Structure 1
Amino acid sequence: MGRKPTKNFNLPPRMRARMHRSGHVYYYYDTCKKPRKEIPLGSDYILALRQYAELEINVIDLSNEIFFPEVMNRYKIEVIATKALSTQATNLSDVKVLERFFSDPPAPLEKIEPHHIAEFLRRNEAYPTTANRCKRLFSHIWNKAREWGYTNLPNPTMGIRGYSLGKRDVYIDDELFTLVKSYGLPPLQEAMDLMYLTGQRPGDVMKLTEHHIQDGELILRQSKTKTALRIVISAALFDVFARIRSRKTTHKIVSTNLLVTLQGKPMTKGSLKYYFDSAREKAAKAHPEFKDQLKAFWLYDLRAKAADDMSAEKGDQAAADLLGHIDVRTTKRHYLRRGKKVAPTR
């Protein structure tokens, strides 16, 4: 048995990383043969993973018993690595949860049955959202295993119900929105306005640059779904861009990113979280009557607020279009939280 890795935990089995004198990291595939032989994979991590996958496919001997961790390793390389970075982070976190159950000891693929999925859910009942998400991930891994020829057994998740979770129904009204903004620094104020007016995910908004503004439109492609959108630059959006540019010009080095920190550097997930948490905390101290609402306020709720407000003004289809949904039912199910506006009997 090989030694347990003490570093580079993100690398799959038999993949090695070495720092050269030049300061560059190069990747290698360990064939586990004697004398030791390593196959160079280059310095590009993504390309190295692809080459690793091609080599690793030959390692799984279909004539022998196949274990679920082997399939997960291939899934991480060929499927997870192709997803948006935020989705990759979530998937890799969920893989660790699955590994604790199906890798210790390694579970033979042919012996995993529906009652094992039910047991997995029971063991993770304290975290129902994660448990449900892991069940969906397991299902997709299994379907890939069937596609790759590792098994022809039906998916063991079929017929196993996950936990019933209540739909998130938090709606951020204008008063709460304005309250948090008033206690936020300019970078947060600009970010909140841009998220609300465009209805886009925080991650996509942070990636926007001056180059996305063309001919009176904000042109973007969503990271999660790859949906392309052209958002007309309204007077409100124009005002936000003007404020952003005015503040950016005060820095020696002007970033092309629309959202920047107080220092003029591109906004990151961490810096945005810091600005938002600080504003909520200050607002809660000054207005304790809003403490519960402020605690329940997530930045992602601004996407739902945009959908709700657009729906109220121009209809559900307009809300779906703004969010980049092909099917308006997706918008209704997950983002419209205030309910349908109706007239009384008389």
Structure 2
Amino acid sequence: MRPKSSARDLPPRMLRRVRTLASGKRWEGYYYDGRDDAGNRKEIPLGTEINEAKRKWAELECRPAPVETGIMRIAFDRYAREVIPDKAPKTQASNQLELAKLRSVFDTAPIDAITPQHIAQYRDARMTRARTLKNGTVVPAKPATVAANRELALFSHIFNKAREWGYTAKTNPCAGVAKNKEAPRDFYADDEVWKAVRNRAAIELQDAMDLAYLSGQRPGDVLRFTRRDIVEDALTVQQGKTSKRLAIMLTDQDTGTRTELGRLLDRIGARTVRSLWLLATPDGKRLTPGMLRLRFTAARNAAAVQVEESGDQRLAARIRQFQFRDARPKAASEMALDHASDLLGHTDKQITKVVYQRVGKRVRPTR
């Protein structure tokens, strides 16, 4: 076979085709210069990604795949290209950050050379970044136990996909490697803390706190509620994280009276300035995540300062621990487990019990 006169960076019988699309973008694809059953020349498509193409070329040539096609970068790239875009926006963002951390360690590692010991070493060596706060306080680096768990969970999924794609036949190295122990957040926003912050909140923040508590939904889902979500006397929701659908009743079917959630939505709907969004400012502008964060921080700080001035340092400290996301656990903690699990959209009641119910079971004293 005579030497190639072009595309000398490619293996023998591998061709590169370049086209300029109508949009003006440059398209590049790879082909195998093969033969059909009749012996006629036939270009077999290998795809548009160089390393994928080289793997297919190796199969057609009955040769070992080039070394550069067997490293984790190939699986990372394909996962980022094909799998991550199908996830929820928030999950996409977190996956991109987690993937960047994994790339810094495993990008050039041969897929078949990664062992459970390497996974355990990553878990134990993962640290947070030391930083200096605006007031000059230095926060030292510490073990990033939760981040390591999330990143290795992503690595495990990527490795399983790599097995599906044919990049490796090796057992997932994450199998059998223990995760870091995680302590779920256990802060409970009791009525004293809740009322202290709510009393210092703007009207739109009061609405947001009430809606989050009464619906039991995640902050992102609460901010997305519109008037169109009120269907047949129920507040309907398709949860952004799990896509689970719920219809939260606005009238008690047993008594025929409006629920507190129903009365809240009635009050919002009766206001002079109306908005499509259930959570809006008095002038009708949608309450965004940034607006919610600023208003909640301001109300929490004002409540803490007010309590500190009255001399109750313990309550002030609890107020400063309070986060808007604690509305969902507060709702779960103040209901029976079955009801809480249904409202929060959990298929496993154990998640509701362990993570979200933050008040101990009420029991009788000895006497």
Which residue identity lines up with residue 99 of structure 1 in the other structure? R
1:301 equivalenced with 2:326 (yes/no): yes
3-state SS of paired residue (1:98)? helix
What does residue range 119-130 of structure 1 map to in structure 2 within 5 Å? 119-125=121-127, 126-130=143-147
Q: After superposition, what is the alpha-carbon deviation per residue over 1:66-96, rounded to whole angstroms, capped at 9, x for unaligned?
A: 2212211221232221121112111111111
Among 168, 176, 182, the alignment partner of 1:151 is 168
CA contact (8 A) 2:55 2:66 kept: yes
Distance 1:143 1:331, change over 3 A: same
CA contact (8 A) 1:114 1:156 kept: yes
Which residue identity lines up with residue 189 of structure 1 in the other structure? Q
Give the share of equivalent positions with the same residue, in percent. Answer: 39
Which residue identity lines up with residue 115 of structure 2 in the other structure? E
Which residue identity lines up with residue 272 of structure 1 in the other structure? L
Aligned to 2:133: none
Q: After superposition, what is the alpha-carbon deviation per residue over 1:172-195, rounded to whole angstroms, capped at 9, x for unaligned?
A: 111111111111111111011000
3-state SS of paired residue (1:151)? coil
Structure 1 residue 29: deviation in Å?
6.3
Aligned to 2:364: 343
For residues 81 and 117 of structure 1, the distance between their equivalents in structure 2, rounded to whole angstroms, comes to 26
For residues 53 and 187 of structure 2, the distance between their equivalents in structure 1, rounded to whole angstroms, comes to 49
Structure 1 residue 294: deviation in Å?
2.0
Among 278, 284, 287, the alignment partner of 1:267 is 287
Aligned to 1:172: 189
Max radius of gyration: which structure? 2
Aligned to 1:109: 111
3-state SS of paired residue (1:300)? helix
Aligned residues: 292
Among 250, 256, 260, the alignment partner of 1:236 is 260
3-state SS of paired residue (1:164)? coil
Distance 1:107 1:341, change over 3 A: same
For residues 182 and 273 of structure 1, the distance between their equivalents in structure 2, rounded to whole angstroms, comes to 17
Aligned to 2:238: 221
Aligned to 1:331: 352
For residues 268 and 294 of structure 1, the distance between their equivalents in structure 2, rounded to whole angstroms, comes to 23
CA contact (8 A) 1:60 1:70 kept: no
| Structure 1 runs not aligned, ≥5 long | 1-25, 34-53
1:61 equivalenced with 2:55 (yes/no): yes
Q: After superposition, what is the alpha-carbon deviation per residue over 1:88-135, rounded to whole angstroms, capped at 9, x for unaligned?
A: 1111111111122122xx122111111221221222142211111111
Report the RMSD for the aligned CA atoms in angstroms. 2.3
1:286 equivalenced with 2:288 (yes/no): no
Distance 1:102 1:337, change over 3 A: same
| Structure 2 runs not aligned, ≥5 long | 1-22, 31-46, 57-64, 128-142, 251-257
Among 62, 86, 89, the alignment partner of 2:90 is 86
Distance 1:55 1:239, change over 3 A: farther
Structure 1 residue 286: deviation in Å?
1.0
